[in-house]
Structures are given as C-alpha cells and as structure tokens.
Amino acid sequence: MPQRRSVHTAPRPPVIGVTACIRTVDGSRTHTVGEKYIRGVTDGLGGLPLLIPALGDDLDIGAVVATLDGLLVTGSLSNVEPHHYDGPSAAAGTLHDPARDATVLPLILAALTAGVPLLAICRGHQELNVALGGSLHQRLHELPGRIDHRAPDSPDLDIQYGLAHPVTLTEGGLFQQLNGGDTRLQVNSLHWQGIDRLADGVEVEAVADDGTVEAVRVTRTESFAVSVQWHPEFKVRENPFSLALFGAFGDAARAYGTRRRAR
C-alpha cells in the first residue's frame, strides 16, 4: 500500500515585514535590522520576519504590502531628514538614512491603506507621524520643561534599555486595556527627537509627564496600527506590557493573514 503523505496542518506563522536601515559594514553598503526586532517578531508573536530592504523607488511597495500579514517599523539611530516635515535643517553631523526614508515613509502609507496591521517603534513612531503629515522636534532635551529622553551613557544594554520614566495611558484607550486597566506604565527611553505637530488621523495612547507623545493609534484604519516612542522589542518576553502589545499585534496579523489568503 502506498503511504499517504501527511498533510501539514500546523498554523502558518504570520509574515511580518521588518524595515531595514542602510549602514556601511566592512566598507559595503548593507541593509541591517537589529536582532531584537527580529526576536520581537519570533519570540513576541510567533511570526516569520521578512526583511524589507531600504531600496526606495527600486522597491515594489505594492508587491511588498501584498506579501505581508503585518509590518514592524523598526527604530534606528538615524533621524528622518527634516525636509520630509518642512523642518529646519539638522545640526551638522546628524546621522540620516535617506534610503530608509524613501522606503519606509511610502511603505507606512501603503500598509495603512491596505489595512495591514502595523507596529512602529521609536524612529518608526516618528516616521509614522511624518508619513501622516505631522512634524518632529529634533532635540527634545533642549526644549524648556522637557526631560532628557536620551539613552543612559552606559555600554550595558540592560542599563541603556532599562525602564527610564513613566507614561500615562489614555483613559479608555487600547493601551490601558493592554495594561490590565492601569493608566501608568514605566518605559525605556533612547531618543533625541519626538513628535511636535501631531498628524491628523491619530489618537494619543500614551504621554510622558513632560508632554512628549509616547504612543499613538491610527484611527483612519480599522486595523491594529500603533506606534510607541520606547522599545518594547527589547527582551520582549520579560515585560508584561511588551508581551501584551506584541501579542495584540500578532493576533491582528494572524486574522489579517487568514482574510488575505481567503481573497
């Protein structure tokens, strides 16, 4: 008797696009993603990470979006070039990544238009605001009344990404729900820039005590689409809120993927 081939019934992991940066590594132009973002996808939601190269106009954004069940917009040391939000020129020596800007800003819009669930982190939070028409402060710590949101000066990652300050979650918002009803949450903080003019079509989900917008939810889509100024991907399984956030993103990506494949 011929053996029956076993049917593969394990649930498919959602395919999560992970945005890359351009860096020079050993003299070569290289598309990079920090491992903690990849681990955020694998360990935080059981997804399959798919690197999205920063190819700008040479990337078929429509084809990318059609492949994804979710989009993780990563953080990065580089800043969005200020011409994208009509901001003043950046200080000399500021690290930019024009190829990433040219890829990620249109990608965010295309993902939101298609209803692809999205989680944007740190630079990603800033990019989401810029993509939707908002603007950025370039040096929060130089503004009166703001705390210093920059990373602690330590080579130890547990110190750099350690909890730094509280945020207040919007009463009745998604984040309060994910935080078990509590409106206070401690977050890490590793950024110079922050949201200045809030884009249309987003609602604030979290704010620092100095008024810095720390998280938003996009209201022009029915899909899960949120951004955070902090880094929930760092040791994602060790922080209950981070796990809840990645879990909600994963649930949305699975549901979207099921609908996408049924089309």
Ligand X SMILES: N[C@@H](CCC(=O)NCCCC(=O)O)C(=O)O
Q: Check if 214 is active-site.
A: no
Interface with ligand X includes 190 (CB under 6 A)?
yes
Residue 143 near ligand X by CB under 6 A: no
Cα 197 to chain center, whole Å?
A: 19
* Interaction between residue 100 and ligand X (CB under 6 A): no
Terminal-residue alpha carbon distance, the chain:
38
Q: Is 217 in the site for ligand X (CB under 6 A)?
A: no
Is residue 192 close enough to count as binding ligand X by CB under 6 A? yes
Candidates 72-80, 84-92, 175-183, 237-245 — which segment interacts with ligand X by CB under 6 A? Answer: 72-80
By beta-carbon proximity to ligand X, the closer residue of 176 and 207 is 207
Element (H, E) at 228: strand 225-228
Does 34 participate in binding ligand X (rule CB under 6 A)?
A: yes
Asked if 76 interacts with ligand X (CB under 6 A), we say: yes
Segment interacting with ligand X, rule: CB under 6 A, options 38-46, 170-178, 191-199, 200-208:
191-199
Q: Does 49 bind ligand X (CB under 6 A)?
A: no
Q: Coil, strand or helix: which one is 242?
A: helix
Distance CA 69, CA 118 (A): 9
Both structure tokens of 90: 């950046």
Task: Provide the 3-class DSSP secondary structure of residue 163.
Answer: coil
Concerning whether 171 is annotated as a catalytic residue, the answer is: no
CA atoms within 13 A on the CB side of 31: 13
- Provide the residue type at 83 as one letter: H
Shortest gap between Cβ of 222 and ligand X (angstroms)?
27
Residue ranges of alpha helices (H) inside the chain are 35-45, 61-67, 98-114, 123-131, 157-160, 174-178, 240-262
> Residue 46: which of 261, 263, 257, 259 has the closest Cα?
257
> Which listed residue (20, 122, 131, 225) binds ligand X by CB under 6 A?
122
Determine, following the binding rule CB under 6 A, whether residue 31 of this chain makes contact with ligand X. no
142 counts as catalytic:
no
Contact between 165 and 145 (Cβ < 8 Å): no
Q: Which candidate in 122, 137, 149, 214 is catalytic? A: 122
Residues labelled catalytic? 122, 231, 233
Where along the sequence are the contacts to ligand X (CB under 6 A)? 34, 75-79, 122-123, 190-193, 231
